[in-house]
Amino acid sequence: MLSPKRTKFRKQFKGRIKGDSKGGTALNFGAYGLKAMEPDRITARQIEAARRAISRHMKRAGRLWIRIFPDVPVTQKPNEVRMGKGKGAPEFWAARVAPGRIMFEIDGVSHEIAKGAFERAAAKLPIKTKVIVRLGEPTGEVTK
């Protein structure tokens, strides 16, 4: 699973995901991409599950790029613990994803396979998504 190699601080504030994505909204590498339509935190486990779903559907063909990275440590308090006594321990890593962010990109496979792979990946993610296609490719929606 993805996680930072080292961090300056062990714990972070929760934060809020406001507005649309400011970058990473256009296809940069592949011909097909999976775009987030809602804001949410995507955990490293969910990213890994989506990656596996995509690479298994593509059957060792094509290339995959992951364009989000889980760099937010999320803490949790143990069960049946009273409030207070400090912040809980870091439990997992998550990526903050705003609407419009392209999370995965694929190239080297047909449109049908890319669509199937992204449908399977979307099922592993907690947000609504859509498949986007580079301008000039045979089918799909318009994006640059």
Partner 1 sequence: MSEAMKLAAGLRERAGKGASRAVRLTGRVPAVIYGDKQAPVTIHVPEKELTKLLHTGHFMNSVVELELDGATHRTLPRDVQFHVVSDRPIHVDFLRLAIGGTIAVQVPVHFTDEDQSPGMKRGGTLNIVRHEVELNCPSDAIPDQLNFSLAGLDIGDSIHISAITLPEKVTPVITDRDFTIATVVAPSALQSADAAADEETAAAAAAESAAEAEAKSE
Give least dist CB 41 to partner 1, A.
18
Nearer to partner 1, 11 or 59 (CB): 59
Task: Report helix, strand or coil for 58.
Answer: helix
Nearer to partner 1, 81 or 142 (CB): 142
Q: DSSP class of residue 127? A: S
How many CB atoms are closer than 10 A to CB 96?
17
Nearer to partner 1, 124 or 130 (CB): 130
Residue 75 burial by Cβ neighbours in a 10 Å radius (0-12, 13-18, 19+): middle
Give least dist CB 62 to partner 1, A.
6
Give least dist CB 91 to partner 1, A.
24
- Residue 47: what are its φ and ψ, rounded to 5°? -65, -45
Answer for the pair 73, 95: CB distance below 8 angstroms, yes or no.
no
Nearer to partner 1, 7 or 55 (CB): 55
Distance (Å, whole) CA 4 – CA 131: 28
Residues that bind partner 1 (CB under 8 A): 20-21, 25-26, 35, 37, 55, 58-64, 99-100, 107-108, 132, 134-137, 141-144
Give least dist CB 59 to partner 1, A.
8
